[in-house]
Structure 1
Amino acid sequence: MTTTQLTMPGTDPAACRRVDLGLPRWLHPAVRERVAARIRRNPHWRFGFSRGERAVLRRRAPMPVSVWAERHRVLAHSTIPGRWHNTVTPYSTGIMDASFHEAVRTVIVCKCPQSGITEAVHNCIGYAIDRAPGPVMYVYPDEITARENARDRILPMIAGSPRLATYLTGSADDRSSLRINLRHMPIHLAWSGSASRLGNKPVRHLVLDELDKYQQARNEAPAEALAEKRTITWRHKARIWKISTPTVEEGPIWQAMTREAQAVFDYHVRCPHCAMEQLMAFERIRWPEDVRDPEEVKSRQLAEYVCEHCGCAWNDGDRDRAVRLGCWRERSTHLELMAHLDAHRPGAIGFHLPAWLSYFVSLSKVAAAFLQWVTTKDQEKLKDFCQNVKAEPWRAHREERQEDRILALCDDRPRGTVPGPLPEAPGVPRVAALVAGIDTQGGDEVRGYFRYVIRAFGWGEEEESWLVQCGTVPTLPALADLLWRSVYRDAAGNEHTVRLALQDAMGHRTREVYAFCAANKGRIFPTQGKRSQSAPLAYAPQEYFPGTQRRIPGGLRLLKVDTTFFKNDLSARLAIAPEDPGAFHLHHGTPPEYAREMTAEYYDEKQQAWICPKGRDNHFWDCEVLALAAAHALGVRNWKRPEPERHTPARPAMQAAPRREIFGSRPGWMGGTR
């Protein structure tokens, strides 16, 4: 720009001629004179910014990424083409907006496939092109994937948006599959295994896509580390997105979630019926129990989700409405996403996204993925379910209890026989009481059954116990005959009966179990398992049958059982040698099914809870837990062993003493003798 000096309005024109106009000396004299004459005739200097200058200097109002995406993003290669709508994937709104929070530098998303998160990250890059320009790098697992994404996703995203299309140069050379040159910034495409593509490029925005599928270059650092070093020069202005489906616990995405992320967020939905907020869990997805074919469940859309507060069953439409009403909450503080970011300002944040939240994945598809494992028992199906549906890494479940070690606890007693008295005290029974634990299975009287164990407990604090009988009965009358109309004998012929039974009442047959327990009060209690509570056992009065206005005759007491407490106790007892005090004995010929189910559960240190892997049966394990709870309810550990009767020599028969007259015959006593 020239340094031309001008007069202001109202100055002397003659003085204007004396002003140094500052015209460059290299101009032709005639041109210089013509320009000078025009300036002298109009001393007012009028100027304006060009369109480009106005675009650069304009101060635009702040706008969240989610709002920008709905205004400017257009989807081409999508199942729902057209403008972007946040209502399709509501959970992506929080991820996009949090990506450009002033405190956040790294965004980690552990996701399932078909969740829309990849497109949400493309929205973030589109926002950066328009409002936070700087070099971008996408890193993919291999070269073919990188080229395909450049051609099929990134370039269509830019060209399809009227806003972003203005940044294209128009040159075909600037639209290659490995580098896209815009008017003001480049976009690089790289892949793992190629150190040259990952190096020597300063990057402000870095996208690490499908991180767990990366290949490591020989004699080089991991691709993730090489790519992250490209953002060093941009310091606090850099942004990194790490998105992937998990593979194993040692995989990069799960390590980033558990070690790198300073805050991890879960998406909480809100029931469209009762408006109560909750975290969705796979265990609350239901389908008809008599349907085991995964294709039938998927084709007929038989699965539904049960609200944990009101019990209403959601179809896919209800699920989608619940997700639209939801929000992200931090796991430890339970604060909403933006509230937590403003209060704690974490630099690295993580998001966990299972498949049952996705609009593109039906509840029946989730159930079918699980049933594929149940019907085939193929570990690969279970691995697929964990990684691609639950969005959790595959864990090779280590069984701390082996079946052979369980069966090693068998003694020589036949099934149904109670241990007899000790040789040193033949008159004292070894058993204090018989108890039973019942696990209720099935949805009705036709398809249901009852798994049970009957266990004998010894006297005192040691609580040595013996399995008397275990098995399955089809009906409640058969269960009553087994528990109270059957007599169990020991080797000495002493008879024993079941003193107390506890029965699982939660599930589809709660009303039936309540009625059975109400008819046998004092001998059996319905139970509800609790992961933790203030006391091992707690009683809760029940006046009505669940889900009805029908009163329970005389009322009923539900026994709430701290399952973690008794499972810890059971696990410890199984480790006691048969010869040691407090041993846990089995009868001769205990079925292998019993031993298999006793090894199903394992203790998860991170969750501080006992976990049963999906597809494994643990019914006898649950029965033995209830048997321990029954012995605890009776207080058997406080019962003292009776003292044996002492045999003393019989005393000789005593002769009758002569009768002693209390009132003697004395003269004068009432006028005579007595």
Structure 2
Amino acid sequence: MQPSPIALTQSECEFFSMPEAMRSFDWIRKNVRVVAGPYKGQLWNPAISPSAEEILDILDDEQVRKVFLIAPSQSTKTTIIITWLLAALMRRLDNVGYGLADESSVRRMFTKTLHEYFRLCTPLKKKLKGIDALQNTEIQLTGGAALLGMWSGSDSRARSFSAPIVIVDEEDSYQDKSAVLAMEERTDAYTGLGLSKIARLCRPKGNEDESTIWLDANAEADTWLVREAVCPVCRTAQIMEHQNIVARDGSTDPQRIRREKLGRYQCEKCGYLWTDQARNQALMNGQLVSLRGKRKGAVVVAVHMRAWESPLVSLSDILCQWFEAQGHPRKLQRFDNNVCAKPYRFVQLKQSETELERCISKHLPVGIIPDWAKCLTFAADMQKDHFKYSVCAHGLPRAEHVVDYGVVRTFEELQQLIFESRYKTLEGNELGIWRAAVDTGGGKNKDEQTTRTMQAYLWLLSLRPGVVFGTKGMSRIRVGEAVYHKVLDKYPDGRAIRGGLSLHFIDTDLFKRDCFWRLAEGWEEEPITFHSDTTQEYLKEIASEELERQKNGKEVWVRKRANHWLDCLTTHLTLAHWQWKPSLNELAGSMQEAAPVEDAAIDAKEKPKKQENPFTDGMTLFGGEYE
């Protein structure tokens, strides 16, 4: 055998050698190592995500030009895309664009994640160009190729190169939504050659008009894929839906469900309750199926994954989040985004005084409390020269009845009402005020120089503690907190408050949403009613605001007329909320021991058909469906 007339160096041999012809799934299992967490350094197993192998095969399909991966956080979606990207670089070395919301996110992704993948993978390490290849927003590869970071707000970065592969990560967080289009344009030069591939992965954020990945996936996808699970007992194939996630013993206590791991998935055919382990097996036995369109021949593919379809998420945690979100529209919206991986549905909330007339209890005159009442609360809204107030009875499960309302002029009259008023049931049982709150807002007194807020603080400090509290609306929303307590140490004029003053800060948006839903669709389930002598003037103030969406997508409450008694009503809901300690539940004992609330405002035979709560996808607060 004659020697070769041309002697090639090792690097030349590598350059002219055929690329490794291997499925991404197989290459990843052999070469890619975990870069963070307790398994750092170990070979990554794509099987940890039941759909990973099929998603990787879809990305490998030369006919597929774009993939939408819609999934919640911590669902391995980013890992799946990154590991496929690494496998693609081993097959064909060329530019790659990776887009994120801002420069700091790009730096974090490159330095904390992508650099580590290259360091821990020997075949990839050989593709690096020099000792300075790993840079903050760029990874330089041999042959002039590079992995380039892009971010919203930097047109020069997003438009300065061409690449066959572009990854768009968490696009719903972008300030400039048009940046997605600019990033996708990087593949234009390769599209005609059949070499382009775009992957967009994101957890939907906001409502249906705000989530670009949801809008574009629905508009562009030839097929929409979801995971089908197979029951380990009856072998029935089914798409898992969150209304079938239940507690083993029917519990609705989030803390107990999480602590005792009571979450189960109920098979829609045989009723068998899947544990987390059985759920994992059911998912592994299933496959991705198309909800619409044909998978074969699809050029644009959308894959939708939900949190309960991940072995990394416990069914008990899903059920806890569901119960914790009940009665909290903002939490229910986050449940849609974070768990169901879908935009939340905006519902315009408004009422009219005519519609509210059905909430009047004809048989309960002013000053008479229902037999089911556990306590009375008092709420006052402070104006420049008077107060509007109301008294509300509370029951368990949640039910409210406005017993009385009116106007007083002075703090002395207010104090007398709170501490001396007594209200009776039709049977003669008597209750006083359990808890009272006064909104401490307001401008200067009509006839004095001191502010009404200052006067309210001085008055509150003069009272015995534990009954009357000052309240304010939150200036900034705290996630997960409907009401929180704070002790002020200074007056508005800067003077120190001896001993401090206790104030409660309220998420007014949350309580107004809850109030308006309960006065409409949710009235049958959690009624709010008014005494038989209620006037049109009062009902007009209850219906004085509407929740509207502005052109920029922001949801705001718009006041149409005076709203003082509406503020009082939402304050009543706050006073009985479980986050205000001690809570009504603690006062009355456990909810299981509470007597059922009979009578709302009409007899059972006249009750309208139950309506679906728009914030809960048609589920009741206790996990069952509406009849």
TM-score category (smaller protein): 0.5 to 0.7
Provide the C-alpha distance between the structure 2 equivalents of 1:355 and 1:44, rounded to a whole number of angstroms: 61
1:241-270 CA distance string (max 9 Å, x none): 111111221211111221111111011011
TM-aligned CA deviation for residue 67 of structure 1 = 1.1
User: Which secondary structure state, in structure 2, belongs to the residue aligned with residue 331 of structure 1?
Assistant: strand
User: Which secondary structure state, in structure 2, belongs to the residue aligned with residue 83 of structure 1?
Assistant: coil
**1:397 counterpart = 2:353:** no
Counterparts of residues 206-221 of structure 1 (less than 5 Å): 206-216=166-176
Query: What is the aligned partner in structure 2 of residue 368 from structure 1?
Result: 320
TM-aligned CA deviation for residue 118 of structure 1 = 0.2
Query: CA distance change for structure 1 residues 149 and 256 in 2, over 3 Å: closer, same or farther?
Result: same
Query: What is the aligned partner in structure 2 of residue 304 from structure 1?
Result: 264
Contact (CA 8 Å) 2:159, 2:182: kept in 1 or not?
yes
Contact (CA 8 Å) 1:600, 1:617: kept in 2 or not?
no
User: Which secondary structure state, in structure 2, belongs to the residue aligned with residue 77 of structure 1?
Assistant: coil
Provide the C-alpha distance between the structure 1 equivalents of 2:600 and 2:283, rounded to a whole number of angstroms: 54
Contact (CA 8 Å) 2:20, 2:90: kept in 1 or not?
no
Counterparts of residues 141-290 of structure 1 (less than 5 Å): 141-172=101-132, 174-184=133-143, 185-216=145-176, 222-235=178-191, 236-247=194-205, 248-250=207-209, 251-288=211-248
User: Which secondary structure state, in structure 2, belongs to the residue aligned with residue 249 of structure 1?
Assistant: coil
Query: CA distance change for structure 1 residues 53 and 368 in 2, over 3 Å: closer, same or farther?
Result: same
TM-aligned CA deviation for residue 346 of structure 1 = 1.9
Query: What is the aligned partner in structure 2 of residue 612 from structure 1?
Result: 618
Which AA in structure 1 matches 2:602?
Answer: T
Query: CA distance change for structure 1 residues 49 and 300 in 2, over 3 Å: closer, same or farther?
Result: same
Alignment match of 1:358 (pick from 307, 310, 314): 310
TM-aligned CA deviation for residue 611 of structure 1 = 5.5
Provide the C-alpha distance between the structure 1 equivalents of 2:16 and 2:351, rounded to a whole number of angstroms: 70
Provide the C-alpha distance between the structure 2 equivalents of 1:75 and 1:263, rounded to a whole number of angstroms: 31
TM-aligned CA deviation for residue 95 of structure 1 = 1.3
Provide the C-alpha distance between the structure 1 equivalents of 2:102 and 2:123, rounded to a whole number of angstroms: 30
Query: CA distance change for structure 1 residues 413 and 330 in 2, over 3 Å: closer, same or farther?
Result: same
Question: Which one is further off, 85-94 or 364-373?
Answer: 85-94
1:169-208 CA distance string (max 9 Å, x none): 2322x21111110113101112112222212211221111
Which AA in structure 2 matches 1:70?
Answer: R
Which AA in structure 1 matches 2:182?
Answer: L
TM-aligned CA deviation for residue 301 of structure 1 = 0.8
Contact (CA 8 Å) 2:243, 2:619: kept in 1 or not?
no
Query: CA distance change for structure 1 residues 370 and 413 in 2, over 3 Å: closer, same or farther?
Result: closer
**1:590 counterpart = 2:602:** yes
Counterparts of residues 405-484 of structure 1 (less than 5 Å): 405=355
TM-aligned CA deviation for residue 367 of structure 1 = 0.4
Provide the C-alpha distance between the structure 1 equivalents of 2:64 and 2:120, rounded to a whole number of angstroms: 29
Alignment match of 2:27 (pick from 62, 68, 92): 68
Which AA in structure 2 matches 1:359?
Answer: P
Structure 1 segments unaligned to the other structure (5+ residues): 1-8, 10-42, 415-446, 449-586, 605-609, 623-674
TM-aligned CA deviation for residue 359 of structure 1 = 1.4
Counterparts of residues 370-385 of structure 1 (less than 5 Å): 370-374=322-326, 377-385=327-335
Query: What is the aligned partner in structure 1 of residue 83 from structure 2?
Result: 123
Which AA in structure 1 matches 2:612?
Answer: A
Query: What is the aligned partner in structure 1 of residue 612 from structure 2?
Result: 600
1:443-464 CA distance string (max 9 Å, x none): xxxx99xxxxxxxxxxxxxxxx
Provide the C-alpha distance between the structure 1 equivalents of 2:605 and 2:23, rounded to a whole number of angstroms: 58
Provide the C-alpha distance between the structure 2 equivalents of 1:56 and 1:357, rounded to a whole number of angstroms: 42
Question: Which one is further off, 141-150 or 591-600?
Answer: 591-600
User: Which secondary structure state, in structure 2, belongs to the residue aligned with residue 237 of structure 1?
Assistant: coil
Query: What is the aligned partner in structure 2 of residue 658 from structure 1?
Result: none
Contact (CA 8 Å) 1:369, 1:385: kept in 2 or not?
yes
Which AA in structure 2 matches 1:364?
Answer: S
- Structure showing greater radius of gyration is 1
TM-aligned CA deviation for residue 212 of structure 1 = 0.5
Contact (CA 8 Å) 2:229, 2:287: kept in 1 or not?
yes
1:351-394 CA distance string (max 9 Å, x none): 100000111110001001101112xx222211111111111111
Moved over 6 A (4+): 399-403, 409-414, 591-597, 616-619
**1:328 counterpart = 2:288:** yes
1:556-601 CA distance string (max 9 Å, x none): xxxxxxxxxxxxxxxxxxxxxxxxxxxxxxx995279987974436
Count of aligned pairs between the two proteins:
390
**1:348 counterpart = 2:300:** yes
Provide the C-alpha distance between the structure 2 equivalents of 1:617 and 1:307, rounded to a whole number of angstroms: 15
TM-aligned CA deviation for residue 618 of structure 1 = 9.8
Query: CA distance change for structure 1 residues 303 and 53 in 2, over 3 Å: closer, same or farther?
Result: same
TM-aligned CA deviation for residue 128 of structure 1 = 1.7
Provide the C-alpha distance between the structure 2 equivalents of 1:614 and 1:116, rounded to a whole number of angstroms: 31
1:87-116 CA distance string (max 9 Å, x none): 211212111110121111111011011100
1:590-634 CA distance string (max 9 Å, x none): 2799879744367x9xxxxx9625649999x73xxxxxxxxxxxx
Provide the C-alpha distance between the structure 2 equivalents of 1:261 and 1:138, rounded to a whole number of angstroms: 21
TM-aligned CA deviation for residue 399 of structure 1 = 7.1
Provide the C-alpha distance between the structure 2 equivalents of 1:275 and 1:588, rounded to a whole number of angstroms: 46
Provide the C-alpha distance between the structure 2 equivalents of 1:618 and 1:283, rounded to a whole number of angstroms: 8
**1:59 counterpart = 2:65:** no
User: Which secondary structure state, in structure 2, belongs to the residue aligned with residue 114 of structure 1?
Assistant: coil
Which AA in structure 1 matches 2:78?
Answer: T
Contact (CA 8 Å) 2:166, 2:197: kept in 1 or not?
yes
Provide the C-alpha distance between the structure 1 equivalents of 2:259 and 2:611, rounded to a whole number of angstroms: 35
Counterparts of residues 639-654 of structure 1 (less than 5 Å): none
Provide the C-alpha distance between the structure 2 equivalents of 1:617 and 1:241, rounded to a whole number of angstroms: 36
Which AA in structure 1 matches 2:14?
Answer: A
User: Which secondary structure state, in structure 1, belongs to the residue aligned with residue 292 of structure 2?
Assistant: coil
Q: TM-score, normalised by structure 1?
A: 0.53
Contact (CA 8 Å) 1:286, 1:304: kept in 2 or not?
yes
TM-aligned CA deviation for residue 58 of structure 1 = 3.3
Provide the C-alpha distance between the structure 1 equivalents of 2:129 and 2:7, rounded to a whole number of angstroms: 25
TM-aligned CA deviation for residue 272 of structure 1 = 2.1
Provide the C-alpha distance between the structure 1 equivalents of 2:213 and 2:272, rounded to a whole number of angstroms: 35
Provide the C-alpha distance between the structure 2 equivalents of 1:308 and 1:231, rounded to a whole number of angstroms: 44
1:326-370 CA distance string (max 9 Å, x none): 21111135x6xxxx33xxx22211010000011111000100110
Counterparts of residues 67-146 of structure 1 (less than 5 Å): 67-81=26-40, 82-146=42-106
Contact (CA 8 Å) 1:403, 1:595: kept in 2 or not?
no
Query: What is the aligned partner in structure 1 of residue 471 from structure 2?
Result: none
Provide the C-alpha distance between the structure 1 equivalents of 2:78 and 2:605, rounded to a whole number of angstroms: 46
Provide the C-alpha distance between the structure 2 equivalents of 1:213 and 1:186, rounded to a whole number of angstroms: 25
TM-aligned CA deviation for residue 133 of structure 1 = 1.9
Contact (CA 8 Å) 2:49, 2:76: kept in 1 or not?
yes
TM-aligned CA deviation for residue 397 of structure 1 = 3.1
